[in-house]
Amino acid sequence: MQLNFGENYLILSLKIGANNYYPMVYPIFCLKMYKTKDYDYDLPESLIAQNPVQPPDNSKLLVCQKQSSGYKYMQGLFKDISNFLSNESVLFFNNSKVVKAQVFLQQKEIVDKNNKHKFLKSGQVFFLDNLGDNRFEAMVFPGDKFIVGAKIYIEEDIFIMVEKITIAGRILRLHGMSIHDFLEKHGTIPLPPYIQENSNKKELYQTNFAQIDGSTAAPTAGLHFTNNLMSTLQSQGIIFEYLTLHIGIGTFKPIITEDIREYDIHQEKVIIDKQIFEKIADYYYCGKDIVGVGTTSTRVLESLPYLWDEVRKNFKFDQQTIKFRDFVKKQSNNEIQGLKFNENQIEFYTKVFIYPGFEFKIVQNLITNFHLPQSSLLALVAGFMGYENLFDAYHFAIQEEYRFFSFGDAMFIKNK
């Protein structure tokens, strides 16, 4: 085999016989899709949505219908998405709830491990993950005040003790109050860094179906679904399913490696019902259309094949579900961590990274917002619709003045 590069292509020559080679020509963009710099694009600041449209289902919708070559674009409003969904659609929503993760500390007393009293004029605790037993991981500021063994008093009988320093921040144990009550009383909902702070906006940064506390960012594709729209869809026979992925601040981080394949993506906690395997098998054999509502729901669904073998050891399934194994099977690897079984639920952390070349096993259609340049979410959408198709769609959306990011407009990518 010989490999040669041209200006806009590469030539892979396979040896046939003693001295003959069969050349195969590939466009160079096949290589571009792995370069982080090629996931950048120019976006006018005026198209960064600072407020959601009211009602949210009045936002614009770009429908990308897959054709034999490329995609056909159709424009409309999100409330009309029922016109593009089939009656066989099953929508998977992320029901994680954004917690009041950002706690500002003012005029607080600190007692170190040597019982010396100090004073914190101003500081911050940013909740990252609930570790159980009233312990949680958090980013803290200023770091030199949060030394191991220190107690930061929130109220007279309520304090945070610093147990450990981590790469992300600190492991903290809360005394005198539950973590939930602490965040509800003292915390505030954090907004994405590109949205100007406003207390009214914080109230809108939550889906109508949010139930399980744990996220520090909203599953923004779900923000478009109003109660009226969901009632309309259900009356049309469309099925709703819910799963949980707690979104961390890593969702806003850009890919920092030159090649996206070398990026160590952030992990996120997932909670699912073990029956999800049976349901997906039923939907698959009944010809249903599985729709991921957002990149987070898609990440959960496409993580399932990685844990199937371990799940089968702990739960019994019917023969149809076991047969489905042949369709979803992938080898076990490091993409799934911290796998736990709690009665009928499964918990784990997913590090599945989806980008061009990824083989989708579950999700057939995708509803999503427009994402940040050089982000893992943008790479996921490129993996779903193709690198060149993604940027064609984004350039079209910019030209048509769609609104971008968390409070922005939406895409419905129809591959089926």
pLDDT at 330: 62
Q: Which of 98, 63, 46, 73 is nearest to 410 (CA)?
A: 63
Q: Go through 182-192 and write b for each residue having 16 or more CB atoms within 10 A of its CB, e for each that does not.
A: bbeebbebbbb
pLDDT at 12: 54
pLDDT at 8: 44
pLDDT at 318: 82
Class of the CATH-defined domain 37-98+198-414: alpha beta
Cis previous bond, 23, omega within 30: no
Per-residue pLDDT of 35-70, as tens digits, reads 999 999 999 999 999 999 999 999 999 999 999 889
Low-confidence residues of the chain, pLDDT below 70?
1-32, 199, 324-333
Q: How many CB atoms lie within 10 A of CB 261?
A: 13
CA distance 88 to 96: 25
| C-beta of residue 349 within 8 angstroms of C-beta of residue 337 | yes
pLDDT at 28: 46
pLDDT at 5: 45
Per-residue pLDDT of 262-316, as tens digits, reads 999 999 999 999 999 899 989 988 999 999 999 999 999 999 988 888 888 888 8
* CATH number for the domain formed by residue range(s) 102-188: 2.40.10.240
CA distance 236 to 234: 5
The domain locations on the chain are 2-32, 37-98+198-414, 102-188
